[in-house]
Each structure stands twice: as structure tokens, then as C-alpha cells.
Chains A and B, each alone.
Chain A
Amino acid sequence: MSRRWLFLPGLVCAGLAFLAAADESEPNPVVVTNVAYEVPDVQLVRDDGKRVSLQREMNDGRAVVLNFIFTDCSSFCPLSSQTLGQFQHRLGADGRNVHLMSISIDPEQDTPARLREYARKFDAGPGWQHYTGTLAASRAAQRAFGAYRGDKMSHTPLTLMRAAGGKSWRRIDGFATPDELLVEYHQLLALQ
């Protein structure tokens, strides 16, 4: 399968277009950029039911790998989550240094119980947590990371990575494979 992997260094941008997804001639473009996102001060509800601060969840000494899902997404969230699960698995012992976070973009439907059920489907290990909360909090988180598209059916595949204590996020638009995520992760670490 042909895939174009495009890295754009030094570019600060939210929502970079990778238009070719709708064009069969380019089945899966993946575009990587570096962006210094501001993490907003929002309260979310974690899948264990606890109210948590997004900022604190992202700054506990671990690297962060973030994506946005909703449990009723039947098209590509399952692929994104399966990929994240495989990525976590292939990290092995290194996994304890990585906080995987999946934030729901359908928080009114996605209760902590539904998120736990969803996480189980993808063999989420400890260190991978799912989040919900109010609509306003979910939207604030989406907006902060250039992931907000107005409604959940307009969502796009996106993975974000940041080294522990880092300021710059690696933004990966498109469907990266678990191994590609590993490569990105190790490159990110190498830069620290």
C-alpha cells in the first residue's frame, strides 16, 4: 500500500489540511508537524469516575500520547484505538513512562462506564486512560489541540505526542501504524 509520510519541521499550525484522504490516488497521507499547544485549565472526568485537571493529567512526569475518540464511532476510532493499544504493547517496559490519554468528543453519551468498556475492547493497559466531562470541557480540550471540527461526525484521525516536561507537541494527522508511532516517539525522546 503506498503511503506518503510528510514531516513539516518548524511549522506551527492547527488543522493542517491533508486533503488527499478523499482521493483514492493517495490512500493514506500522514502529515507530521510540531506545535506548541497551550493546555487549557479544564476539569475532565476520568474513566475511574474521578474529576481531574487536564493540566495535571498531562504533567505528571510522563510523556503524553493523546487522541480524541467517541465510543459510538464505528468507522475509524476503533482503528485509532487499536493502533494506540498496539503502540502501548510494543513500548513494553518503557510504557510506564508514557501516559496515553483518549478524550471523548461525545461526552454526554460517553460515561466513565462506557469508556471503561471501550478501553477493555482494546486491551488498554494501566497508563492508558479515557476521559469525559461536560460538553464545554471536551470542546475546550479539542479546541486547544486543533481537533475541534464542530460536530463529532466531522472528526479526523489525529495523534498528539509530547515528551515528559516538554513544551512542543508532535502532531500526527492521518493513520499512523503502531510502529510509525514508535518511531515518532523515539525521535521525540532523542530530541530532549
Chain B
Amino acid sequence: MLVAPHTWAQEAHASAGEAIYRRGVLPSAEPLTGTRESDLRISGAAAACVNCHRRSGLGEIEGRISIPPISGPYLFHPRAKDRDDLDLPYVEAIRPDRDPYTDATLARAIRAGIGADGRPLSYLMPHYTLSDADMATLIGYLKGLTPAGVRGVGDSVLHFATIITPDADPVKRRGMLDVLQHFFADKDAFSRAESPRLRSSHRMMFKANRRWLLHVWELSGPPGTWVQQLREHLAREPVLAVISGLGGKTWAPVHEFCEAAAVPCLFPNVDLPVVAEQDFYSLYFSKGVLLEAELIASRLTEDAGAAAPGRVVQVFRPDDIGLPAAQAVRAALSGGTVRVVQRPLGAGAAAEALAKVLKDVGPQDALVLWLRPADLAGLARIPVRASGVFVSSLMGGMSNAPLPAPWRKVARLSYPFDLPDQRRIRMDYPLGWFRIRQIPVVDERVQADTYLACGLLAETLSHMADSFIPDYLVERLEGLLEHRILTAYYPRLALAPNQRFASKGGYIVHFADLAGGQLVADSDWIVP
């Protein structure tokens, strides 16, 4: 099995070539500059090769524009009639039928836009100004872009991991693992036979003929120790990517690890993701409670004027994800006329703690409750005095939020999903699969999201034939995502370079009646 040993030194030291390629910065710290026909100049980050050729160096096809791979093996391969004759991992924009570049002709291509065959390259390719030394640095970087061996990829097996934090909800954990284990078993069932060495064919949609193996990495102890634990896990069990996963109060160390170790982290079940759109490896379904905060702030801003509250009072446990959510609401409303008051819950029983912070709440106030089900139940003997009550559905349990009847009557839930009625058809598929596989549905949303993440991984890999390269996996997923129709809880998923959150909106909903869990939207889909 090919295992590329992971060296932290490689990650820690960004090379000079990488700075040119990814950030458009020369070793002298001056910006990289280039021009296109008609003297349109570009410089710095806008001029960086990564913008078109991507982080993997494998290019892409955007519309009808084919941006070729420019890592070493793809530049220097001998001429071949078609891509089947090339013993290189399949990439869609490959150029088989041309003479190999040399260092000299490659420099000419970069400076003057002339191809290996002496003919002009695409208008899109800039003519760069580079000294001989900087050119050599860049070409050296290109030569090293495609790794010799890929972590987590064997001749007949693909290794993946899922990560679970110690404070993850045990019921969600069970539900997620159930889905993952069955999905991986399915993949295994259809890949029993020894498969011959893969040859790619651009005429055929390729199904990677390898078994999938799942490693479950359960973290322990305080978050400060998780990065080290993950490094050790990865060293013992090298994986191609991290799929799904489950967090509790913080996911930041996991995000940080995946970014530093260059491990794709695909759609973990976290209600508080890390918002860093310039990062590359972690993809999320949505911003979770932070999106909820924006939905609520957006509604409060709309209400301003007509039914503007005098105060917005936010209630949360200071050691839980409600705190950053409350901060996000305050930030969104800053500069407006509404005063935002933060009321962290003290220690002790929920009922008493809530009574204390809600004592002075009156009809001029809007309440925002960032509370888990146990705390919501503590509202039982507390009268509703606020004029508006917002509740986080992610924290509170969505349509199962145990709100006492008087609160249920007035509550408006932030709801970063498609409405249950509207997603029914899209949900038939995963729910049917759960039934067939006899997977108890203990948390429909987490399990649907997990199944969706697995499906997206499988679909993306099937387009990649034998090019199991982590960066390329992320890039292809970005490109293919918008095509997907079966998106379960989300009306639509889409990503792009520098976009890490696939679903960007939601609703504010209220309960149709006191008894059932039927939800009614206050308005159309909101994109804050």
C-alpha cells in the first residue's frame, strides 16, 4: 500500500514557489505581475496561478474553457494519441496530444504564452514577468505538485476517517455511525473482486473499484489536546479524507488540524463550524447557529419600524455554542437602533436560572433563546411577557423543541433548512435507504446529512476515476455539487473557490398548532 509519510515540516514551511503559485508573491516580496493581450495588467493575488490551475495544479473545465493541469507529470509526459495511452491519473482537462515541455519551453509558455508546439496558448493565460531565478523557483514548485504516493490510497482500498469529539451527543453519534457503517459496507459489498490496475477512459463514467475502509477517530480530553491526538491518528492510519463526523461545543481544533495536514474534511455534523472562507480543506453544509443568528437578526431588522423591539434580550449558556451565536446577532444589529442585551444563564437548575434572567423582560423586548432542550423545558412555569420570542432550532431540537404551550404559541424558530413539506420528496430516498438497511432513525437531520455527505463523496470520486488526490477531491466536489438534486434537508447546495458553506439561507418558522410538529414559514427563503 502506498503511504506518503506525512511530514509536518512540509506543511509548516511555505516554499517560495508556493508563494508565487498560490499568493502571487515573489521571493523579493514584490507582487507577481502579468499582462494579457490589450495590456490588461494583473498583479499579486489576482495574478496567482492558483486562480485558474487550482491548488492541486490539475486545472478544470469551466464552461467550455479548459484549464490544463500544470503539475510536473502533466507537463513533461511524452506525446500520446489520447489520454488512455497516458499512464497518469485522469483529470478532465488533460492535454495528451502534444510534445512534452522542457524547462526552456515552459518558461517561454509562462512569459510569452507560447505552447509546447510553438502555437499561442489561450487568451486567458497571462504573460508573466519573472526573473530567471524566480522562474526556476516556480518551475521547481510545479514539478513537485503531484505527489508520488497518495496518503490513504491503496491498490484495492481507500481509507477514510470520521472524527467524533468527546462532548458529541451520544444519540447523534450512534445514528451517524450507523449510517456510515452501512454506507461503507455497501461500498464493500460491491467491490469484493480483485480489481485490475485502473485505466482511465474519458468516454466512461468511472466507478472507483476499490473498497472503502472507515476509521473512527474518537477524541478525548480537553480541546487543547485534540490536534496532537489527530496527528497521531493520521500517522497510524493515513486517510484520503475525513468524512462527516460529529462535534459538540467546538470543532476548531479539528478544522485547524485538517487545514494544516491537508486533509479534506467533508461536511461534519457541527452546529458551530469554523468560518474561514480562505481556508481550503473543510467543507460545511451551513454556518449552523451562526446562520441562525443572521436569520434572526435579519428578521429583527425587518421588524424594525413596524414592530421594533426596544431591546433584544439574548439568553444562552456561556460555555455553549449559544454564546458565539448571540455575539453574531449583536454584531449584525450593531449600528442599528435596537439595543442588544446578553444574559448568560447562571449555574444551577434551568428553571431558577431562567426566571432570574427573564424577570425584567416585558412587551418592549424581543427574546432570543439559544438553549438546549433541557433548558427550554425549564420555561414551564415562566410566563411569556416579551413581544417576540426567537428560538434556535439547531440547539432546541427543531420541531421537537420541548417548549411549554404558552411559549410554543408565540415562538419563532430560526430554521436553516428547507421546510419539511418541501423536502419530503428529496427525503424519500435517504429515508427509504434507512428503512431497507434497518437503521433506526434517532436523529433524522444528522443521519440525513451524514448520508448526503457519503453520497457526495461517492459521486465525486466516481468522476475522478483513478486520480485520488486530496486537493483535487475538494476541487471536484466544489464543481459538481451544484448539479446534485437529492440534497435532503437543503433546498440547494453550491460551493465555489473561497466558498466553504454550501447552504446559505433558511426560514423563520412558527408552529402551526400546539399539538403537532408542523411548521409554517413566516416568509420566503431568507438569504441574510
- A interface list, Cβ under 8 A from B: 1-3, 18-19, 21-22, 24-25, 27-28, 70, 72-76, 78-79, 82-83, 86, 106-109, 111, 121, 134-135, 149-157, 175, 177-179
CA distance A28 to B113 in the complex (A): 13
Q: List 27 A-B contacts (CB under 8 A).
A: A2-B120, A19-B64, A21-B122, A24-B117, A24-B122, A27-B122, A28-B122, A73-B496, A73-B497, A75-B51, A75-B65, A75-B67, A78-B51, A79-B40, A82-B42, A83-B40, A106-B494, A109-B494, A109-B499, A109-B504, A111-B527, A121-B46, A153-B479, A153-B496, A154-B63, A155-B63, A177-B38
Against A, the Cβ 8 Å flags (1 = close, 0 = not) of B119-138 are 11111100000000000000
Decide: A24 near B95, CB < 8 A? Known: A78-B46, A109-B499.
yes
Given contacts A106-B496, A151-B483, A153-B496, contact A79 B66 (CB under 8 A): no
Residues of A close to B65: CB separation below 8 A: 21-22, 75-76, 156-157
Minimum CB–CB distance from B494 to chain A (whole Å) comes to 7
Chain A minimum-CB-distance residue to B63: A156
B240 within 8 A of A: no
For A27, the chain B residues whose CB sits under 8 A away are 120-123
Q: A24-B115, A83-B40, A135-B492 are in contact. List 15 more A-B contacts (CB 8 A).
A: A1-B37, A24-B121, A27-B120, A72-B496, A74-B51, A74-B497, A76-B124, A78-B51, A108-B492, A108-B505, A109-B494, A149-B63, A153-B496, A154-B62, A157-B63
Cβ-based interface call for B482 (8 A): yes
B498 contacts the other chain (CB 8 A): yes
The reply on B52 being an interface residue by CB < 8 A is: yes
B489-511 interface bits toward A, Cβ cutoff 8 Å, 1 = contact, 0 = none? 00010101111000011000000
**Which of B37, B51, B496, B497 has most chain A Cβ within 10 Å?**
B496
Q: Contact at A156–B64, with CB atoms within 8 Å? A: yes
Residues of chain A contacted by B50 (CB below 8 angstroms): 74
Contact in complex: B61, A22 (CB < 8 Å)? yes
Expressed in whole angstroms, the Cα–Cα distance for A75 and B123 within the complex equals 12
Q: Is the CB of B115 within 8 A of A75?
A: no
Interface of B toward A, CB cutoff 8 Å: 36-38, 40, 42, 46, 50-52, 60-67, 95, 98, 113, 115, 117, 119-124, 478-479, 482-483, 492, 494, 496-499, 504-505, 524-525, 527
B442 to chain A, nearest CB (A): 31
B59 and chain A: residue at smallest CB distance = A75
B113 touches A1 (CB 8 A): yes
For the complex, what is the distance from the CA of A72 to the CA of B40, rounded to whole Å?
A: 20
- Name the residue on B nearest A179 (C-beta): B38
The answer on a CB contact under 8 Å between A18 and B498 is no
CA distance A153 to B117 in the complex (A): 29
Interface of A is mostly: loop
Most buried by B among A24, A106, A121, A156: A24
| A109:B120 contact, CB within 8 angstroms | no
- Do residues B40 and A82 form an inter-chain contact, with CB atoms below 8 A? yes
| Interface pair B63/A24, CB less than 8 Å apart | no
Query: In this complex, what residue of B is CB-closest to A73?
Result: B496
Task: Using CB atoms, name the residue of chain A closest to B117.
Answer: A24
Asked whether, in the complex, the Cβ of B496 is within 8 Å of the Cβ of A1, the reply is no
Question: Which residues of chain B come closer than 8 Å to A25, judged between CB atoms?
Answer: 119
For residue A22, which residues in chain B have a CB less than 8 angstroms away from its CB? 61, 64-66
- Contact among A1, A18, A135 with B123 in the assembled complex (CB-CB below 8 Å): A1
Smallest distance from the beta carbon of A26 to chain B beta carbons, Å?
10
Q: Is the CB of B122 within 8 A of A18?
A: no
Q: Which residues of B contact A109 (CB under 8 A)?
A: 494, 496, 499, 504
Q: Which residue of B lies closest to A149 (CB)?
A: B63
B499 to chain A, nearest CB (A): 5
- Given the known interface contacts A27-B123, A72-B499, the answer about A151 and B64 at a Cβ–Cβ threshold of 8 Å is no
Asked if A108 and B494 make an inter-chain contact with CB atoms under 8 angstroms apart, the answer reads yes
Report the minimal beta-carbon distance from A110 to chain B, rounded to whole angstroms.
10
Residues of A within 8 A of B120 (CB): 1-2, 27
Chain B residue nearest to A70 in the complex (CB): B496
Q: Please, how many angstroms separate the alpha-carbon atoms of A152 and B479 in the complex? A: 9
CA distance A72 to B63 in the complex (A): 15
Which residues of B are found within 8 Å of A152, using beta-carbon distances? 482, 494, 496
Cross-chain contact A75 with B52 (CB below 8 angstroms): yes
In the bound complex, what is the Cα–Cα distance between A76 and B36 (angstroms)?
Answer: 12
A72/B497 in contact, CB under 8 A? yes
Q: Which residues of chain B are within 8 angstroms of A107 by Cβ–Cβ distance?
A: 527
Q: Which residues of B contact A175 (CB under 8 A)?
A: 123-124
Q: How far is the CA of A24 from the CA of B497 in the complex (A)?
A: 25
State A155–B505 Cα separation when bound (angstroms): 23
- Report A-chain residues with C-beta under 8 Å of the C-beta of B60: 75, 153
Closest chain B residue, CB of each to CB of A180 = B38
- The docked-state distance in angstroms from the alpha carbon of A74 to that of B482 is 17
Q: A residues within 8 A CB of B52?
A: 74-76
A73 surroundings in chain B (CB, below 8 A)? 496-497
Alpha-carbon distance between A109 and B498 when the two chains are bound, in angstroms:
11
A178 CA to B66 CA, complexed, in Å:
23
Closest to A158 in B: B63
A155 to chain B, nearest CB (A): 5
Taking CB atoms, residues of chain A closer than 8 Å to B122 are: 21, 24, 27-28
Residues of the A chain whose Cβ atoms lie less than 8 Å from the Cβ of B492: 108, 135
- List of A residues within 8 angstroms of B478 by Cβ: 153
Determine how close the nearest CB of chain A comes to the CB of B332; give it in whole angstroms: 12
Asked if A155 contacts B496 (CB within 8 A), the reply is no
Which residue of chain A has its CB nearest to the CB of B491? A135
**CA of A164 to CA of B506, assembled, Å:** 40
Cα separation A41 to B391 with both chains bound (whole Å): 37
Contact B113 A76 (CB under 8 A): no
Measured between beta carbons, the chain B residues less than 8 angstroms from A3 are 37, 123
| Inter-subunit contact B494/A75 (CB<8 Å) | no
- Listed from nearest, the 3 A-B pairs whose CB atoms lie closest are A28-B123, A177-B38, A151-B482
Q: Which residues of B contact A24 (CB under 8 A)?
A: 95, 98, 115, 117, 119, 121-122
A87 to B: closest C-beta gap in Å: 11
Q: Which residue of A lies closest to B495 (CB)?
A: A72
* Closest Cβ neighbor of A78 among chain B residues: B46
How far apart sit A27 and B460, CA to CA, in the bound complex (Å)? 30
In angstroms, Cα B504 to Cα A56, docked, is 29
A28 to B120, CA, bound (A): 10
